[in-house]
A and B are shown apart, each in its own frame.
Chain A
Amino acid sequence: MQGLLPPLNDHNLPWMDTIHPIVVHFVIAMAVISVLFDVAGVVLRKPNLFEVSFWNLLVATVAIFVAIIFGQVEAGLAQPYGGASEILNLHSTLGWSLAGVLAVLSGWRYVVRGRDPRQLPLPFLAAGGVLLVLVTIQVALGNQLIWTYGLHTVPVVEATREGLV
């Protein structure tokens, strides 16, 4: 795999900086806002917010696969140490699971919207709540990898190369 990539820099990456955290903007923001606009649509009786939710959910679903592709490459180069290995495993597993969850929700929503775009069944709203919980856990795990363990940051990569970690 590494033969396919450019040489690694001081972030232990073949490109300037981590790309995964940029792509996840479009998973986190779109998934969360989709649920929030669904709730707002129900509470405020504004069905055109359901359309906004639908498109945001679709963007999140497409984006998560791109996030996983970069996430897998960057995880493979992350050189996790201590507790970071276990967290990275959990983050990867939950990431793939969320891709499945988002794909199922998108499919379900496509059918719901096809029947009546101005009605949202309450079970879908509940599923949105589950999505919100899963995304929150996934974000918390990712936060640990960067803000606690500093994976792919210059000082940690340097220390790892010197065998200090």
Chain B
Amino acid sequence: MAPESLLATTPIEQLAPYLGSNHLPYGVPIHPNLVHFTIGLFVIAITFDVAAALYPLERRVFRFLALPVTRAGLHDVGWYNLLACAVVSFFTVAAGFFEMLLADPLPGVQSALGLGSATTMVWHGVGGVLLLLVIVLMTVWRGYQRFVWRREMGRQVQWLYLLIGLALFPIFGLHGTLGAELAAEFGVHIRADQLLAAGADLREALP
């Protein structure tokens, strides 16, 4: 618990005693490590459903490669990866919000996209929640197609589902770019960047 004298101060000052030079109470940020799973699982889920939908065209290629494949197997990847994506992404967003509360972006910086730190954080924060909603809706939609509407069909997904899934790739890319800029340009939670901004000599501070 924070000492009582701290309660009259700003939130970041109340937390300051618990934070290291990277402005986190632990060594490296958690959110960027969970992001690997959110993006990787989503992209591969959609990719394998596309591959399954186009299966009649690819059958000969797989036979040529001596790689036994079933359409249902490819769709299984599309479904289970998306399900795992939906589960892990709640933690991705939760960790992201916790670490954004503690963020201390460097002042006077403009990103490669021409945005300041507050604008970048608002887009990345609000956009992240919206993308979580989209992932959950896509998972529910994918589930209905698999278990109800297209249960008996070889192609388990509608073309519209695949189109929306593919259209989300560049949106994920843009969203990820905003997050990458918060780190590599605004120096959020990067020990070396924060130490440099505080005037430290890295030769001594980070030997």
A interface residue numbers (CB < 8 A to B): 11, 16-18, 21-22, 24-26, 28-30, 32-33, 36-37, 48-49, 51-52, 55-56, 59, 81-84, 110, 113-114, 117, 139, 143-144, 146-150, 152-156, 159, 164-165
Contacts and interface: CB of A to CB of B under 8 A. Distances in A.
Interface stretch (B126-134, B163-171, B195-203): B195-203
Interface of B: 22, 27-29, 32-33, 35-37, 39-41, 43-44, 48, 67-68, 70, 72-74, 76-77, 80-81, 84, 106, 109, 112, 176-177, 180-181, 183-185, 187, 189-193, 196-197, 201-203, 206-207
Contacts of A117: 68
Interface of B is mostly: helix
30 contacts: A17-B180, A18-B184, A21-B180, A25-B43, A32-B37, A33-B41, A49-B76, A52-B77, A59-B44, A81-B206, A113-B68, A114-B68, A139-B33, A146-B190, A147-B190, A148-B28, A148-B191, A148-B192, A149-B192, A149-B206, A150-B193, A153-B192, A154-B185, A154-B187, A155-B192, A155-B193, A156-B196, A156-B202, A159-B196, A164-B201
B168 to A, nearest CB: 15
A48 B33 CA distance: 28
B206 A83 contact: yes
Contacts of B202: 81-82, 156, 159, 164-165
Nearest to A110: B67
Nearest to A55: B77
Contacts of B106: 155
